[in-house]
Chain A
Amino acid sequence: EIVLTQSPGTLSLSPGERATLSCRASQGVSSAYLAWYQQKPGQAPSLLIFAASRRATGIPDRFSGSGSGTDFTLSISRLEPEDFAVYYCHQYGTSPITFGQGTRLEI
């Protein structure tokens, strides 16, 4: 199975700063099938980015995704207070479908 390793495990930043989250795959992932989710306490994950770089409906443009092959990145250009949460990457192109272990973005 494809193992997704996210780094860092925890990222401590302040509102207004830029966040860069990494997701590295153990083997190549088609960009068409790489997504990022945001999860806040007590809630389900919510889709942010799909196909590596496409924002889901209603997602502000401060969120952007990039990458290909085995290295993918989620960037948040100017952190808002509501952005502090846990972020997961997800590959859904190769069975079994797998998720990264998450990056906690904290103030």
Chain B
Amino acid sequence: QVTLRESGPALVKPTQTLTLTCTFSGFSLSTSGMCVSWIRQTPGKALEWLARIDWDDDRFYSPSLRTRLNISKGTSKNQVVLTMTNMGPVDTATYFCVRINSGLWDSWGQGAPVTVSS
């Protein structure tokens, strides 16, 4: 059974850096064709793709957020970490990690709500 779980701070201050961890089980990110993406959903419910990391460590970013994002495999083999710098109120959202299996976006985590406020 594939599961993913996002973790990180629920509240960050403006200009701070957000670090989110996706901890997963039921698959290996070393398997060919396996990827993990981060998506966020604003309070208005719009979905926005942020970044993706592939089994071979290729990384892809949303062009509009590229300069603020970094995605990496965690120190544990079953983790992916997303950092987003210079957080602002518009970054208030629920952040999801998603497994992509040979192109199929088939499993989502439950989401981590993040509020940016002083």
Chain B residues lying within 8 Å of A92, measured Cβ to Cβ, are 103, 105
A47 touches B47 (CB 8 A): no
Please report the number of residue pairs spanning A and B whose Cβ atoms sit closer than 8 angstroms.
46
A44 touches B105 (CB 8 A): no
B49 touches A96 (CB 8 A): yes
Smallest CB–CB gap between A49 and chain B, Å? 11
A sample of 9 cross-chain residue pairs with beta-carbon separation below 8 angstroms, ordered by A number, consists of A32-B103, A45-B96, A47-B104, A50-B104, A90-B105, A96-B63, A99-B46, A99-B47, A102-B47
Smallest CB–CB gap between A23 and chain B, Å? 13
Separation of A13 and B117 alpha carbons in the complex (Å)? 39
Smallest CB–CB gap between A39 and chain B, Å? 8
Complex interface residues of chain B between 82 and 108 (CB less than 8 A to chain A): 96, 103-106, 108
Separation of A35 and B96 alpha carbons in the complex (Å)? 17
Complex interface residues of chain B between 42 and 64 (CB less than 8 A to chain A): 45-49, 60, 62-64
Chain A residues lying within 8 Å of B47, measured Cβ to Cβ, are 45, 88, 90, 99, 102
Is A101's beta carbon under 8 Å from chain B?
Answer: yes
Separation of A92 and B52 alpha carbons in the complex (Å)? 12
Chain A residues lying within 8 Å of B37, measured Cβ to Cβ, are 97
Chain A residues lying within 8 Å of B109, measured Cβ to Cβ, are 44
A98 touches B49 (CB 8 A): yes
Separation of A11 and B115 alpha carbons in the complex (Å)? 31
Smallest CB–CB gap between A20 and chain B, Å? 21
- 8 Å CB contact of B103 from A33, A44, A45, A95: A33
Chain A residues lying within 8 Å of B60, measured Cβ to Cβ, are 95
With A33-B103, A92-B103, A96-B62 known as contacts, the answer to whether A44 contacts B45 (CB < 8 A) is no
